[in-house]
Structure formats: C-alpha cells, structure tokens
Amino acid sequence: MNAQARQTRSSSWQPRENAGHCSSLQSFLDYIRAECGLSANTVDAYRGDLLNFFSHLRQARCDDLASLAPGHIESFVGYCRRRDLADASIARAVAAVGTFCKFLVLEKVIPRDPTETIVSPKKWNRLPSVLNDQALTKLLREPDPTMDLYALRDRAILLLLYATGIRASELTGLKTTDLNTTLGVIRVLGKGSKERIVPLADQAIEAIEQYVRTSRPAMSQSRDAGEIFLTRTGRKLLREDVFRIVVKYVRRALPGSHASPHTLRHSFATQLLQGGGDLRSVQEMLGHVDIATTQIYTHIDAKRLREVHKKFHPRG
C-alpha cells in the first residue's frame, strides 16, 4: 500500500461502537442507579458524558479500557475545553469519568484509577440527602406484613438498611450464616472483600427473624445458596431489585421524594453523629476506608445546627 493510500485510509477511518465500552457503560449505569442512588437526571447526564468520553477514546484509538491512562483523561479535558463547555459542565464530565474509573477498579478491569492526578476545574462536595424522623417512620411502616410474604421481606430489607447503614450491594450478599441474633450483629462483606461486624437494632432483628422463619422458606428453591434475601423465584436479590423495592415504598409513603437505599445509609450515619456517636465508630460501621468520606456527615449536622441558631437566636 502506497503512502497516499495509507493516508486516505487513515483520514477516512471511522471507529465503530465498541462492544466492550457499551457493556461496561451499562453495568456502570446500573451500579450508580442502584448502589449510589443517583437521580435519573444525573444518570442520564453521566451517560451523555461517558458517551462523549468513549467517542474521544475511539478517536484516540483506545479500544481497550484496560489500557486507560492519565493521558487519556487529560486529553479528554482538553477535548471538552475545545468544545467551549462551562467549567461546571467539564467538572461534571470529569466526575462522571472518575466515578466510572473507580467502578472499573472495583470490577478489576483496571489496576488503579487514572483520574487520581486530574484536577477538576471546579470541586464541590454535595451533601447527601437524608430523611427526618417523621419521614423515616412513615417509610418503615409502609410494608404491611399482614398482606403477603413479600411485604415481610421488604419490611426486613428497609429496617436492615436503616438499622445498619449497609450498601444495597452488601445486603444482597448477606448469607443466613452472617446473622447472629444472639449477639445482635451481622457480618458484612464490603468493598474490597473487607469484612466488618455491624450491630443490629432489636426491631430489625425481629423483622429478619420473622421473614426467615415464615416467608423465606416459601421463596427458596433447590438452588438455594443461603442468601438471606431472595426473589419470588428463589434467586438472590440483585442491587437493582433492592433499589426497586425501596423506591416502591418511598413513592407510596413519601410522594415526591427521591429517596433510595443510599438515602437510608446517609440517614443512619447522620443520626448516629447527631446522637453523639464518634466519627471513628461511624466510619467503621459504614465500611469507609478514608475517614474524610465519613466527615461529610458532620457537615450535615453543622448545617442543622446553623438552622437552629438562625431560627432561635436573637441575633441569628
């Protein structure tokens, strides 16, 4: 092939959709929707940002996500700037790519996050949303255990999420052998396959015991692998199943609310700190590697205190 032919072929080269990229994108979107509890608008925005990122990768002929490097991220930021995107839009795009890369690390697609050294144009910490006592009470009472077997399961799920602050993905992996009702604790396998022991409230223990005793036997099949929470057909629940269950009762009990399984986790942590719990203990119960991740809940409490001060102090 002569030089002119090679140049013509190169200039007309059009990358096709990469099946691996598409598969990873869908898995990631399911993850942030179910596990992180992001709103539909945010999920759609992240999807658009990542499609742009994949387009940039195709132009750079990076077909294998395993070969992602900081240079790809830096050139993507430049790509966004050339499109005259606002700093906030670029920051969101970088956040989307960063979250995606962390997901790839969790899935062992890449060994480390290539966005670690990338400085976003604009940094912000979004305070997680929490439910107040009244809203929590309404939500936890919504499943009627007298209605059917599945309401018993769903009530146990809601109480367990709120009583322990565990992630939806951690809940789906719980085995019956992880539950110790005598000691009032549950063993949780968290991110990075790290085990931790989390205390259980009496109400959650009672709900789980009732479900395991009466509902679970009717759901379990011959392929029962010992997971605590099962679907109607006897398979283990997925993160997406937990998300759908929680959202179903949120819509009934709290119309207009966008609460998710992660909202119950946030509410658990916030109320512990408001009640006098120390930061290290809360960090351990949540399974946070970095205490800075836990410290965001102290900002929520500070915000509440400022509101009280403004409302009741004569110079507020």
Which is the catalytic residue, given 21, 92, 265, 266? 265
198 band by pLDDT with thresholds 50, 70 and 90: very high
Look at residue 210 in the predicted model and tell me its pLDDT. Answer: 94
Asked if the model's pLDDT at residue 75 lies above 60, the reply is: yes
Indicate whether 163 and 290 sit together in one domain.
yes
Q: What integer best gives the mean pLDDT of the chain?
A: 83
- Catalytic hit among 31, 162, 249, 297: 297
Q: Which residue has the higher pLDDT, 13 or 134?
A: 134
Residue 309 among the catalytic residues: no
> Is 70 contained in some domain?
yes
In this prediction, residue 261 carries a pLDDT of 93
Is 302's pLDDT higher than 70?
Answer: no
The phi-psi region of residue 299 (left if phi > 0; otherwise alpha if psi is between -120 and 50; otherwise beta) is alpha
Predicted pLDDT of residue 101: 92
90 pLDDT higher than 80 = yes
Nearest of 242, 235, 234 to residue 264 by alpha carbon: 242
Mean of the pLDDT values across residues 214-225? 82
295: in domain: yes
Residue 301 has a pLDDT of: 63
Query: Do residues 199 and 300 share a domain?
Result: yes
Dihedral sign for Cα 7, 9, 11, 15, please: negative
Residue, of 12 and 246, whose pLDDT is higher = 246
pLDDT given at position 13? 29
The active-site residue, picked from 33, 167, 236, 266, is 167
Shared domain check, 282 and 158: yes
Q: Which residue, 49, 71, 106, sits at the end of a domain? A: 106
Q: What is the pTM of this model?
A: 0.61
In a shared domain, residues 139 and 242: yes
Checking if the pLDDT of 277 tops 90, the result is no
- pLDDT value of position 123: 46
What pLDDT, on a 0 to 100 scale, did the predictor assign at position 148? 86
Of 21, 236, 262, 266, the catalytic one is 262
- Counting the structural domains of the chain, the total is 2
pLDDT band at residue 299 using 50, 70 and 90 as cut-offs: low
pLDDT band, residue 300 (cuts 50/70/90): low
State the average pLDDT over residues 163-170: 93
Residue 7's pLDDT is what?
38
Mark whether 288 is an active-site residue: yes
Q: Copy the structure tokens of residue 315.
A: 């110079």
Q: Are residues 48 and 148 in the same domain?
A: no
For residue 15, pLDDT beyond 90: no
What CATH number is associated with residue 42? 1.10.150.130
Q: How confident is the model at residue 107 (pLDDT cuts 50, 70, 90)?
A: confident
Over the chain, what HEC string results? CCHHHHHHHHHCCCCCCCHHHHHHHHHHHHHHHHCCCCCHHHHHHHHHHHHHHHHHHHHCCCCCHHHCCHHHHHHHHHHHHHCCCCHHHHHHHHHHHHHHHHHHHHCCCCCCCCCCCCCCCCCCCCCCCCCCHHHHHHHHHCCCCCCCHHHHHHHHHHHHHHHHCCCHHHHHCCEHHHEECCCCEEEEECHHHCEEEEECCHHHHHHHHHHHHHHHHHHCCCCCCCECCECCCCCECCHHHHHHHHHHHHHHHCCCCCCCHHHHHHHHHHHHHHCCCCHHHHHHHHCCCCHHHHHHHHHHHHHHHHHHHHHHCCCC
Does the annotation mark 81 as catalytic? Answer: no
Single out the catalytic residue among 9, 191, 232, 303: 191
Name the more confident of 61 and 162: 162
| Long-range own/partner contacts, residues 25-30 (CB < 8 A, 24 or more apart) | 25/50, 25/51, 25/54, 25/100, 27/103, 27/107, 28/99, 28/100, 28/103, 30/239, 30/240
Domain hosting residue 267, numbered range: 133-309
Same domain, residue pair 144 and 229: yes
The per-residue pLDDT for range 41-60, each reduced to its tens digit, is 788 889 999 999 999 998 88
The pLDDT of residue 183: 93
297 labelled catalytic:
yes
Residue 199 pLDDT > 50 = yes
Active site annotation includes 167: yes
Residue 191 annotated as catalytic: yes
Percent of the chain whose predicted confidence (pLDDT) is above 90? 40
What's the pLDDT at 52? 92
Q: How much of the chain, in percent, has pLDDT values that exceed 70? A: 84
At 184, which CATH number?
A: 1.10.443.10
| Residue 141: per-residue pLDDT | 96
Q: How far apart are CA 110 and CA 15, in angstroms?
A: 23
230-246 mean pLDDT: 92
Per-residue pLDDT, 305:
55
Look at residue 206 and tell me if it is in a domain. Answer: yes
Structure token digits, residue 47: 């999807």
Query: How large is the average pLDDT for residues 263-277?
Result: 89
Check residue 283 and give its pLDDT.
87
